[in-house]
A and B are shown apart, each in its own frame.
Chain A
Amino acid sequence: MADSTPLLKVRNLRVAYPIRSSVLMRHIGDNVAVSDVSFDLHQGETVGLVGESGSGKSTIARTIIGLVKASDGSIEFEGKDIARASWRQLKSIRREMQMVFQDPYASLNPRLTVRDIIAEAWRVHPGVVPRGAWTSEAKALMDRVGLNPDYSDRYPHQFSGGQRQRIGIARALALRPKLIVCDEAVSALDVSVQAQVLNLLEDLQADLDLSYLFISHDLSVIEHLCDRVLVLNRGVVVEQGTVDQLFDNPQDDYTKRLLAAVPVVRPWLEPT
C-alpha cells in the first residue's frame, strides 16, 4: 500500500481566518487555525484526526471537503489539486468525497423523506443513478446501512439518533464515494448504538474499499477504528503514526497527557 499513490495527499496545509477591523472591515491580521499539516491517506485506509476543541481538526476536514479555502499548501485528491481546481472540476471531485456529520438531528432536512434525502445527491450529480431507479436504489442503500427499506417514506423525526446517523451514512454512500470524512460521526450517540455504527463503518469499508478520514475527540474510538492517527494541538500536528506506535509508545508530551486523561472503565485493573 505504501508505494501506491495516495488517494488524498495533504501538504503543508495552512488555514487562516482573517481578522477584520470592526469599522472598515480591513484585513488586520490572521487567526491561524491550522498550520503546516501534511499527511497521506491511501485507498481502504482509515486515518484519524484527534485533538481537543480548537485544535483544528474540523477545519482540516472542512478544507478537504471544500467548505473552507486553504490559505497555503496543497490538497491533492487522486493527483488533482483541490485548491486550484475549477468549479466544474471541484464538482466531480466532490462526488468522490462525502461527509458524515456529528449531529444526526441538525444534518438531515426535516422536510424531506429518507428517500428524498438520499436521492438529493443524485439530483445534484445526474448520471450516477437514473431517475427511474431512485426509489429502489435508495431502498437498497437503506437496507445496506441496516434500516428497514419499508420506511423510505418516513421523515427524519420518526427515527432515533442512531437510525438518523445511518441515514446520514446512506446519504454519504449514495454517490459511491472513495473517501468519507466523518466529523465526530459517532460522538452524539449512546455507547450501545455507537458500537453498532462503528461496526457498520467497518463493514462498509471492507465491502466497498472505502477510505475514512475520521475525526474525533474520543481516543478510544480512534484507537478502535483507525490505522494511522494524527494528533493535533492548536492547529499543529504534534505527532503522527500508526495506532500501535501512538497508543503504545507516544513520544510527544501533549499526546502523553491526552492519553493519560482518557477515563479508564476499570481503574482498579490498571497497574499503579
Chain B
Amino acid sequence: MTEPATARVDSLEGDPPLLRVEGLEVEFSTSAGVLRALDGVSFEVRAGETLAILGESGSGKSVTAQAVMALLPQPAGSIVGGRIWYGGRDIAAEPVKQVRKLCATEIAMIFQDPLSSLNPVFRVGDQVAEPFRRRRGMDKRQALGKALELLKRVGIPNAETRIRDYPHQFSGGQRQRIMIAMAIALKPRLLIADEPTTALDVTVQAQIMDLLADLQAETGMGLILISHDLGVVADVAQRAAIMYAGRVVETGSIREIYDHPAHPYPKGLLESIPSEGARGQRLTPISGSPPNLLAVPSGCPFHPRCEFAIDVCRTDVPMLRRPEGWEAGHEAACHRSEEVL
C-alpha cells in the first residue's frame, strides 16, 4: 500500500492533530477467508474539530472506530498495517491493554444502541459514577455527586431522583444522554460517536446532536461522528471522510464535498436522497449494491457501479488526490474527478 503522495496542505497550519490515522489496514479472518475491512484509511482530527465519517453498511466506518479504540473483535480482527498517531505515540503498535487504559480517560466512545450499552441491573447513577471511582479514586458519595452534575448537564429532568432509576426506566433519547454523560465524565480529549442518533426519533435526534455540539464547544474536545446519514451530520461537522469498501474515497470540508462531490460515490449518495426540491420526481439511485469484502472488484472498488468508469478504473486503484484547481484539503480517490466535478 503506497501512501497518497499529496501533502496535506490543510494540516500544515495550527496545532498538530489530536488523532492522525495513516494508511490503516484491518483484516478479519472469517470461515470464508480473510476479509480486508480497512484498506489504507487515512484521516485526522484536531481539538475542537468535528469530523464526520460517512458510509453505508460494510464500508468500514465502525471498524475504523473499533481499531482506534482497540475494540476490534478478537481474535478475528487485527490491524495489519498503518499507524494511529495519538499524542506522539503510534497506538496501533501498542498492546491492547495499554490502549484501553488510554482510551478510558482520553478517548471516549458512544454507540448506536444505548440500551445494550448500559448494564440493566445497575442504577444509572452508579454507572455514571463508575469512572470517577475507578479512574479518579473518588469515594461513593463524591462520585455520585459528580454523576448528578453530569446527568443535569446532559439534560435529564429531575436528575436528583432519577439517578436511582434503572436504564429500562428511561426513554431512548434519555438513555443516549446517559451514555453521553458517561463518555464525557473524565473530560476526554476525543469523543467518537458511532451512529449516536440512528435509533432515535427525529425530534430527539436533533436534541442529541445539539447536545454533542454544545459539549464540544464547552470542552474543546475533538469529535468524530460516524453516520450513514448525510443530513444528520451536516450541521455539526466541519469536515467529512466518506468511506466505501474499506477506503476513504473522498475527504474535505463537508460543504465542499456536498456542493461539489469529486467522487461518483458521494455524488450518487447525495442524488439518492429524496429532497424537498424534487418532490414527485424520480430518484437517481446508484445501480447495483456495495461489494462483498471477500471479493472486492479489481482497481477502483466502485467501478462496477460507476457511470464514469473507464479501463484504468478496472485495473488501477485510485489514490486520494486533490482535483485540479479545487480547494486545498478536498481530495478524492477517483481517476476521473475532473469529469465528475
Contact = CB atoms under 8 A, between A and B. Distances in A.
Chain A interface category by residue count = 35 or more
Contacts of B97: none
A220 B234 contact: no
A265 B285 contact: no
A217 B201 contact: yes
Contacts of B298: none
B201 A263 contact: no
Given A53-B201, A190-B228, A198-B283, A265 B273 contact: yes
A192 to B, nearest CB: 4
A265 B56 CA distance: 16
Interface in A181-217: 190-196, 198-199, 202, 217
A161 B4 CA distance: 33
A199 B283 contact: yes
B274 A192 contact: no
A191 B230 contact: yes
B268 interface: yes
Interface in A158-198: 160-163, 190-196, 198
Contact of B201 (A52, A161, A190, A191): A52
Interface in B280-303: 280, 282-287, 289-290
A193 B285 contact: yes
B279 interface: yes
B285 A219 contact: no
A223 interface: yes
B116 interface: no
B258 interface: yes
Contacts of B205: 261, 263
A121 interface: no
A134 interface: no
Contact of B228 (A191, A199, A225, A263): A191
Interface string B201-227: 111111000000000000000000000
Given A191-B269, A193-B289, A262-B202, A223 B282 contact: no
B274 A221 contact: yes
Contacts of A221: 274
A190 B234 CA distance: 18
A202 B273 contact: no
A195 B276 contact: no
A192 B231 contact: no
Interface in A215-249: 217, 219-221, 223-225, 243-244, 247
B283 A224 contact: yes
Contact of A266 (B206, B258, B282, B285): B258
Given A162-B289, A223-B274, A265-B273, A190 B57 contact: yes
Contacts of B290: 160, 190
Contact of A223 (B57, B204, B276, B286): B276
A23 B282 CA distance: 56
Contacts of A220: 273-276
27 contacts: A52-B202, A52-B204, A53-B172, A161-B57, A163-B289, A190-B57, A190-B290, A191-B228, A191-B269, A192-B268, A192-B285, A193-B285, A193-B289, A194-B272, A195-B286, A199-B285, A217-B201, A219-B202, A220-B275, A221-B274, A224-B278, A225-B274, A258-B203, A261-B202, A263-B202, A265-B230, A265-B270
Interface of B: 56-57, 172, 201-206, 228-232, 234-235, 255, 258-259, 268-270, 272-276, 278-280, 282-287, 289-290
